[in-house]
Homo-oligomer: A and B are copies of this chain.
Amino acid sequence: MKESRLCSMLGIEHPIILGGMGGISDGSLAAAVSEAGGLGTIASMSYTAEELKAEIDKGQSLTDKPFAVNVSLLRPDAGDLIEAVLEKGLKTVITAAGSPKKFTAALKDGGATVMHVVANVSMAMKIAEAGVDAIIAEGTESGGVASREEITTFTLIPQVVDVVDIPVVAAGGIGDARGYLAARALGAEGVQVGTIFLASKECQTIGDVYKHVLIEADDAATGIAGRGAIGLRMIKNAFFDEVEKAAAEGKSGGELFQFMESKMGAAAKDADNGAFVCGQVTGMIREIRPVKDIIRDIVDGAESALKELN
């Protein structure tokens, strides 16, 4: 398949990026994805700057290959987190929420590559102007925080590709080789995937209950909880209904998020009573596999599928 600009830009073999899932994408999972030729990402969400440094150390002890850290620019200590990343010598930062404009110069001076996550075309244009190196365009089928516009990957990617010159990464809905090939067909130069790595052997931050839920889930298993106030895509279960009830009672986005967070990740111990954040592709997951196999099947499968289409 046609070479992606992302590979040379990020120093990776395959343009497959681990989504930085808060409380889940740690140094081990990031290292596993990077070792397999993709780009691992540590999610900074649940760490202080000091804790993040320790997690980066852990990742670097497991791989010599590059990995990234994602940072929400809404955090008051976003600058500290970015400083920690640069101090540790990482070369890629994935920013989300707010504008990276304020940090672009410092990141560039530090030799970093910056990718920013967007969910609509107007943000993509603004972000490209802010000088980032690549854009991650995330469709509404993705797990976690849902954009208000709820634009799907299928319609979002080509429209973002049309307005920017930098590489676009497709996120949301990519479950296997077909999804990777389709993303490339839409004009993306790579993919960011979370859910399928959530269901990997190397994802040790969640328990067996979570993985079992992912395997059992069908195509219609997820929904957006707290739509209008906060909006998080997760498995529809009894806890989902509780969140919806709290939203209907007028709880704020912050309150709802706190409520959901209390049952996320390792805290999701019971299939009915946990916030099992994941994308719609969970319906495609049938078993828990090593990261290496997941990436190999995407890359090899896409090559075969491309040949077959021809």
Contacts and interface: CB of A to CB of B under 8 A. Distances in A.
A141 interface: yes
A111 to B, nearest CB: 32
Which 5 pairs show the lowest CB-CB distances between chains A and B?
A154-B173, A149-B220, A182-B182, A182-B185, A155-B280
Interface string A142-186: 000000011111111011001000000000111110110111111
B185 A181 contact: yes
A219 B280 contact: no
- How many protomers of this protein does the assembly include? 2
A305 to B, nearest CB: 6
Nearest to A1: B309
Given A1-B310, A2-B309, A120 B220 contact: yes
13 contacts: A2-B309, A120-B220, A121-B283, A149-B219, A152-B172, A152-B173, A155-B279, A155-B283, A159-B284, A181-B309, A182-B185, A185-B306, A310-B310
Contacts of A183: 182
Interface of A: 1-2, 120-122, 139-141, 149-156, 158-159, 162, 172-176, 178-179, 181-187, 218-220, 223, 279-281, 283-284, 305-306, 308-310
A185 B309 contact: yes
A162 B218 CA distance: 13
Contact of A173 (B120, B155, B184): B155
B121 A220 contact: yes
Contacts of A283: 121, 155, 159
A140 B202 CA distance: 33
A277 to B, nearest CB: 16
Contacts of A179: 154, 158, 186
B219 A120 contact: yes
Contact of A155 (B120, B155, B187, B219): B219
A266 to B, nearest CB: 26
Contacts of A280: 151-152, 155
